[in-house]
Amino acid sequence: MKITFMGAGSSVFARNVIGDCLCVESLRDSVFALYDIDPVRMEESRTILEALRNAKGGYGKIECYVGVEQRKAALAGANFVINAIQVGLYDPCTIIDFEVPKKYGLRQTIGDTLGIGGIMRALRTIPVMKDFADDIAEVCPDALLLNYTNPMAMLSGFMQRYTPVKTVGLCHSVQVCSESLLQDLGMEDRLEGRTELIAGINHMAWLLELKDKNGVDLYPEIKSRVDAYIANPENKNKVRMDYIRNFGYYCTESSEHNAEYNMFYIKSKYPELVEKFNIPLDEYPRRCIRNIESWKTDYEEMKQAGVKEHTRSLEYASRIMQAIVENSAYQIGGNVLNTGHLITNLPENACVEVPCLVNGTGVHPCHVGALPVQCAAMNMTNINVQLLTIEAAVTGKRDHIYQAAMLDPHTGSELDIDTIKKMVDELIDAHGTYLPKFH
Q: DSSP strand E in 53-164: where?
A: 61-66, 80-83, 144-147
Q: How many CB atoms lie within 10 A of CB 93?
A: 21
Q: Which 3 state secondary structure label does DSSP give 336?
A: strand
| Burial group, residue 238, by CB count within 10 angstroms (0-12, 13-18, 19+) | buried
Pairing of strands 144-147, 166-169: parallel
| Number of helices (H), then strands (E), in the chain | 17, 12
Name the active-site residue from 172, 341, 431, 439. Answer: 172
Pairing of strands 250-251, 144-147: unpaired
Q: How many CB atoms lie within 10 A of CB 272?
A: 8
Cis omega (within 30 of 0) on the bond before 285?
A: no
Provide the β-strand partners of residue 288: none
Burial string for 126-141 (b: 16+ CB within 10 Å, else e) reads bbbbbebbebbeebbe
Q: In sequence order, what are the residues at sequence separation of 6 or more whose Cβ sits closer than 8 angstroms to the Cβ of residue 290?
A: none
Distance of CA 369 to the CA centre of its chain: 24
Q: Is 400 a catalytic residue?
A: no
Q: What are the helix (H) ranges across 141-282?
A: 152-162, 173-184, 219-231, 238-247, 255-258, 272-276
Q: Which residues are catalytic?
A: 172
